[in-house]
A and B are shown apart, each in its own frame.
Chain A
Amino acid sequence: MGGKKNKNKAENTDIQQTLEASRRDFLKKAGISGAAVLSGAAAVLAGYRHEKSKNKGEFVKVLTTDNKLVKIAAEEVEGYEPGLKELQKRGREGIPGKKWVMIIDLSKCRNARKCIEACQSAHHLRPYEYHINTLVMQESVNTPAYFMPKPCQHCDNPPCVSVCPVDATFKRQDGVVLIDNERCIGCRFCIAACPYSARMFHWEEPVNAQADKDKEYDIELNVPQKKGTISKCLFSSDRLRENQLPYCVSACPNGVYYFGDENEDAVTNGTTKETVKLSELLKQNGGYRLMPELGTQPRVYYLPPKNRIFDFDQDKPREEDLII
């Protein structure tokens, strides 16, 4: 009796287990198919959106060599000048897959100021309006003085972006911090917030205002500059889009700058055009960043001014030379 009961019980358990198993199986299958349906739907939706956004982009009509008029996506045409809408869109998105990084070797800088000149001529600035400036630094009386080029640090945690009330200054996916002078209201909160004094303001009509009047505004070059708005270092985003090194980097005669992509772990020296491993360069030379205690996470690294290849005291400007 007892055995039968037990057997029954066992059978019941078996059945229960089978039921349980099949239910679990069903749920699993339902789950999988549900997920499949969902992801399928998501894929379709994403595709739809992609197609739709493609349609939104600019198209141009071009004449082929066999005299056919065809319509193709504007960005695929060579020599095509994108309109403001396109410039703003791609300028705010950045270059996918890149993480730009700059290394400044302080042991090589002798204050030639060629980087500054190149930058100012590219961005239409006056001699005292800086995206990048070279400073004479001395931490304390017993430590040696040195020259320090100082562009925008393109922080990964940028205080300027946090405080901007209108999203005029922003961080792109490729790490660059830009300023949209079509949006800037000129409150200068970002100047107050930046610990590196990296930003400038157009207090008066910019130097090339008349000549640039009819140019389309390129957010990656910040030209034409506009009165009453902020301007700043852009890591020469317009050059990066064309696979070129930034203006300052290419202009340096002393091999101070390396520039490249953190994702590739490779940086190129602007003077020698030599490409080296980013991690190795930083490791072997004791690379560091400015004011790490502020938590701003700059994308500009410095190599310490040791074993300098020139005599600082000879090149050092006098106190009064530091004023224009």
Chain B
Amino acid sequence: MNAETKIPGLETEKIDRIASDILRPVRINKVFIIWTAFLFIALAVCLYVYTIQLRKGLIITGIRDFTSWGMYIANFVFFVATSLVGMLISCVLGLIGFKWITPLSRIAEIIAVAFAAIAGLVIISDMGRPDRLPYVFLHARVQSPILWDVTVVTTYFVLSLLLWFFPLIPDIAVAKTRLKGRPAFLIRIYEILSFKWVHHAEQYKILRQAVKILILLIIPTALAIHTVTSWLFAVNPRAGWDSTIFGPYFVSGAFVSGTSALIIAMYFFRTNYRLKDYITDFHFERLARLLFLVSAVYLYFNLNEYLVPAYKMKKFDAVHIHELFTGDYALLFWVTQTMGLILPLILLLFKRIRRPLPMLIIALFMFAAAWLKRYIIVVPPQGHPYLPIQYVPEEWMVYRPTLMESAITLASFLLVLIIITLLSKFFPVIPIVETAHEEKENEIK
């Protein structure tokens, strides 16, 4: 009964070799314990700060009546954006038929799951009355984009979780007999989650169909989450938000931050989990091309979003454009646009740059720039409303984030890291069975 059933069309030796490589990091070692302990302690500190916010109210943040959406909302947009990478890699590229995404798709799904899950928490941290969260469902109004957002983000999270988990089932079945020396609880979890998978051809057929359905569902859902998120701004009559291209503008920007996140994660797993044979230079070269493509599209939308109103200079648009190009936000704006978009686009043209380490550096810059860009989109348009800001305390005039709200924002990143750490440490981060299949196909060729 314990004897492993043979996987149709694959030699046991090949599975053995690949499984032992990929399962090597699936163990609890000292580094892992120190790292998770650090994450949880840091998280505890940040959550303590959140309890202060619960007690005292949002007064501990820098947001006030005029700029009333600040770092929390910018961070929320960033999280939703980054989670879109799951859809881009597994669904879009997968459906087109690119085979090289095999070792990357699960990493992309982990990123999608982590960022989508925490996006929901980030938005709660911005609420004045988080205790009334159930009202969003109890007293739901269909007209409000918030209801649409809550609906699609939850849906996307569930679908992404399933897309991560379904292809994992055969791998768990392969792995459960190969976990000697691992903690008993982990082996027990594998036993349960393998769902008595026996590698029957019929099982694989059902799995393939299920995955295909998920992929087809995820594409429109992912487009919906970020389009609706952009509408949280675009539906308001405010210079800087009042734009008809916000949907595609946000989606194209999402692919930039998502792809950067994937490159950073790839580099990390490749070196720390010793997976250089599976995540190769070739994969970095492919992702460099992908990053170039999505960045070029994003640059195109940036041109439309900024140059068209800058040409007309309508009264309130002009105030906004001046603020970004030469005013208070000029430094932030130009650093973000050059370091996070234009310069990387030029660098990516060179073959020497399209290698792991340079790509990591570029991805780190673009990832940071992507966060700042959300801040630039969310904050400045509120600083200059149609009617002047007068007779208020001086600190209400301009939004300055406080240390406390930064700490609460940091908590969301810690939570993402915790989810990514746990999912990648306890489960194979690269698909075992799929990789074996692909290797075999390459041999035949």
B120 part of interface (Cβ distance < 8 Å): no
Task: Closest B residue to A193 by CB, please name it.
Answer: B236
Partner of B136, one of A185, A197, A205, A324: A185
- The binding surface of chain B is classed by DSSP as loop
B141 touches which one: A137, A164, A192 (CB < 8 A)?
A: A164
Binary B-proximity of A167-194 (CB < 8 A = 1, otherwise 0)? 1100000000000000111111101110
What is the CA–CA distance of A183 and B133 in the complex, to the nearest angstrom? 11
Could you tell me how many residues of chain A have their Cβ less than 8 Å away from some Cβ of chain B? 44
Q: Please, which residues of chain B bring their CB within 8 A of the CB of A128?
A: 391-393, 396
Cβ-defined contact, A324 with B68, below 8 A: no
Please indicate the chain B residues that have their CB under 8 angstroms from the CB of A166 in the complex.
Answer: 132, 135-136, 138-141, 144
Of A133, A165, A186, A191, chain B has the most CB atoms within 10 Å of the CB of: A165
CB contact under 8 A between A183 and B135, given known A163-B145, A163-B146, A227-B57: yes
Q: Complex: how many Å from CA A236 to CA B80?
A: 41
Q: Give the shortest distance, in Å, between B240 (CB) and chain A (any CB).
A: 11
- Name the residue in A134, A137, A159, A185 with the highest tally of chain B Cβ atoms < 10 Å from its Cβ: A185
Q: Which of B32-40, B179-187, B364-372, B379-387 contacts A (4 or more CB under 8 A)?
A: B379-387
B129 & A195 in contact (Cβ 8 Å cutoff):
no
Say if the beta carbon of B388 comes within 8 Å of chain A.
Answer: yes
A159 B237 Cβ-Cβ under 8 A: yes
Measured in the bound complex, the distance between the Cα atoms of B133 and A186 in whole Å is 10
B69, B136, B238: the one within 8 Å of A188 (CB): B69
Residue of A nearest to B233 (CB): A192
Query: B68 touches which one: A134, A185, A192 (CB < 8 A)?
Result: A192
A315 to chain B, nearest CB (A): 15
Nearest residue, chain B, Cβ from A126? B393
Contacting residues, chain B, for A130 (C-beta < 8 A): 391
Q: CA A254 – CA B64 in complex, angstroms?
A: 32
Quick check: B57 and A204 within 8 Å, CB to CB?
Answer: yes
Assess the A324–B139 pair: CB atoms within 8 A. Answer: no
CB distance from B56 to the nearest CB of A (A): 6
Q: Is A13 an interface residue (CB 8 A)?
A: no
B65 in the interface (beta carbon within 8 A): yes
Beta-carbon contacts of B143-183 to A below 8 Å, as 1s and 0s? Answer: 11111000000000000000000000000000000000000
Instruction: Let me know if A203 is at the binding interface, CB within 8 A.
Output: yes
B59 contacts chain A at the CB level, 8 A cutoff: yes
Q: Say yes or no: A164 contacts B65, CB within 8 Å.
A: no
Which B residues lie within 8 Å of A183 (CB)?
A: 132, 135, 139
Contact A323 B394, beta carbon cutoff 8 Å:
yes
Out of B129, B147, B390, B394, which one reaches A165, CB within 8 Å? B147
B-side interface residues, number (CB < 8 Å): 46
* Contact (Cβ within 8 A) A192 B128: no
Q: B64, B128, B385, B392: which contacts A186 (Cβ < 8 A)? A: B128
CB distance from A168 to the nearest CB of B (A): 8
A192 & B69 in contact (Cβ 8 Å cutoff): yes
> Which of B136, B144, B389 gathers most chain A CB within 10 Å?
B144
Do B127 and A187 touch across chains, with their CB atoms under 8 A apart?
A: yes
- Please name all residues of chain B whose beta carbon is closer than 8 Å to the beta carbon of A205 when the two chains form the complex: 56-57
Chain A residues with CB below 8 A from B65, complex form: 191, 197, 199-201
For A184, the chain B residues whose CB sits under 8 A away are 128-129, 132
Q: For the complex, would chain A's binding face be called helix, strand, loop or mixed by DSSP majority?
A: loop
A179 → chain B closest CB, angstroms: 12
B386 / chain A contacts, CB cutoff of 8 Å: 195-197, 291
Q: Any chain B CB within 8 A of the CB of A269? A: no
Known: A184-B128, A203-B57. A163 touches B235 (CB 8 A): yes
Chain A residues within an 8 Å CB radius of B63? 203
Q: Which residues of B contact A133 (CB under 8 A)?
A: 390-391
Interface membership of B306, Cβ < 8 A: no
Query: Which residue on A lies nearest to B126, using beta carbons?
Result: A187
Smallest CB–CB gap between A191 and chain B, Å?
4
Which chain B residue shows the least CB distance to A181? B129
Q: How far is the CB of A93 from chain B (nearest CB, A)?
A: 17
The residue in A184, A196, A203 that gathers the most chain B C-beta atoms within 10 A of its C-beta is: A203
Interface residues of A in 248-272 (CB under 8 A from B): none
* Residue B299, interface by CB 8 Å: no
Is there a chain A Cβ closer than 8 Å to B58's Cβ? yes
Contact A163 B69 (CB under 8 A): no
As a 0/1 sequence over residues 218 to 261 of chain B, the CB contacts with chain A under 8 angstroms (1 = contact) are 00000000000000110111100000000000000000000000
- B92 close to A (CB within 8 Å): no
Does B290 reach chain A (CB closer than 8 Å)? no
Q: How far is the CB of A17 from chain B (nearest CB, A)?
A: 55
Residues of B within 8 A of A201 (CB): 58, 64-65, 68, 128
Give the residues in chain A near B59, CB-CB below 8 Å: 203-204
| Residues of B with C-beta under 8 A to A323 | 391-394, 397
Q: Are B389 and A197 in contact (CB under 8 A)?
A: yes
CB distance from A53 to the nearest CB of B (A): 21
Give every chain A residue within 8 A of B129 (Cβ-Cβ): 184-186, 228-229
The answer, yes or no, to whether A322 is at the interface (CB within 8 Å) is yes
B126, B138, B391, B397: most-surrounded residue (chain A CB, <10 A): B391
Q: Are B57 and A202 in touch, CB under 8 angstroms?
A: yes
Is B329 at the interface (CB under 8 A from chain A)?
no
B374, chain A: closest CB distance, angstroms = 15
Cα distance A62–B147 when bound, in Å?
47
Among A192, A200, A229, A323, residue most surrounded by chain B Cβ atoms (within 10 Å): A192
A45 interface residue (CB < 8 Å to B): no
From 104 to 158 in chain A, residues with beta carbon under 8 angstroms from any chain B beta carbon are 128, 130, 133-137, 150
B100 within 8 A of A: no
Q: A165, B237: Cβ atoms under 8 Å? A: no
A135 proximity list for chain B (CB < 8 A): 387-388, 390-391
Across the interface, do B391 and A203 meet the contact criterion of CB distance under 8 Å? no
C-alpha gap A164/B135 in the complex (Å): 12
Task: Chain B residues near A199: list those with CB within 8 A.
Answer: 65
A-B pairs with beta carbons under 8 Å apart, 22 shown: A135-B391, A159-B236, A162-B235, A163-B144, A163-B146, A166-B138, A166-B139, A166-B141, A166-B144, A167-B139, A183-B135, A185-B129, A185-B135, A188-B69, A193-B237, A201-B64, A203-B63, A322-B390, A323-B391, A323-B392, A323-B393, A324-B394
Would you list the 5 A-B pairs with minimal beta carbon distance, nearest first? A186-B128, A228-B128, A204-B59, A165-B146, A165-B144
Give B residues with C-beta under 8 Å from A: 56-59, 63-66, 68-69, 126-129, 132-133, 135-136, 138-141, 143-147, 232-233, 235-238, 382, 385-394, 396-397
